[in-house]
Structure 1
Amino acid sequence: MMGEGADDPKGLIREAYRIEGISPAECRSIFLDWALSVEDARAAIPRLLQGRPEHPMTDVLREGLAEVPQGRRGGRAARLKA
């Protein structure tokens, strides 16, 4: 299956947009598989978003650009820092 070059080598994102009635959970699963297949997902996301319609995959791609919140570390590492 041909994708969209280096940004979507397996064509996962392209195919997600073709699936009618796809759920956000299914899009997240596809996104994870896609992210593991590209070298720099954060750099590719803005290019993949260009010209995309409103769709659950569009929302998931936007979420992929959000900063990861820095929470507390759990377990032994958190106890030793105190």
Structure 2
Amino acid sequence: MRIEEADPKGLVRESYRIEGITLGECKSIFVDWALSLPVDAPMKDALRALIAHYATGAPDHPMSGVMEQGLLAPDTPKRKGGRAARVGLA
């Protein structure tokens, strides 16, 4: 995945440029980044690309840790709706 696809608004790039950024600020930026991805974008692939591009050169940066934690998050479960969710498939 190209870095422009992984960080369409440049939020992660800018977080690495902010001197003295805190963990809390990085978490907030991470949420904004996740919401800016297209719905069908593979988030973990995007995170891997961003980590390879930014975190390897700055392993102690708070955003590096936030992105690593993002990789550990479980995949989003698929929603079952309607009758099938209430009574199961017949």
Normalising by the smaller structure, the TM-score range is: 0.7 to 0.9
The aligned length equals 65
State the identity %: 48
**Uncovered stretches (5+) of structure 1, i.e. residues with no partner:** 69-82
Q: Which has the higher contact order (CA 8 A, sep 6+)?
A: 2
Pairing 1:25–2:24 present: yes
- Distance across 2 between alignment mates of 1:61 and 1:52: 14
Give the ranges of 4+ consecutive aligned residues of structure 1 lying more than 6 Å apart after TM superposition.
none
Output the TM-score relative to the length of structure 1.
0.73
Choose 38-47 or 4-13, whichever is displaced more. Answer: 38-47
Aligned-residue RMSD, C-alpha: 1.2
- Distance across 2 between alignment mates of 1:66 and 1:31: 14
Code of the aligned partner of 2:13: R
Pairing 1:10–2:9 present: yes
Residues 42-68 of structure 1, C-alpha deviations (whole Å, 9 max, x = no match): 111111111331200000000100134
Deviation at 1:40, TM superposition (A): 2.3
User: Which residue does 2:88 correspond to in 1?
Assistant: none
Code of the aligned partner of 1:22: I
User: Among 26, 39, 56, which residue is 2:62 paired with?
Assistant: 56
Code of the aligned partner of 2:71: L
- Distance across 2 between alignment mates of 1:31 and 1:67: 13
- Distance across 2 between alignment mates of 1:52 and 1:34: 20
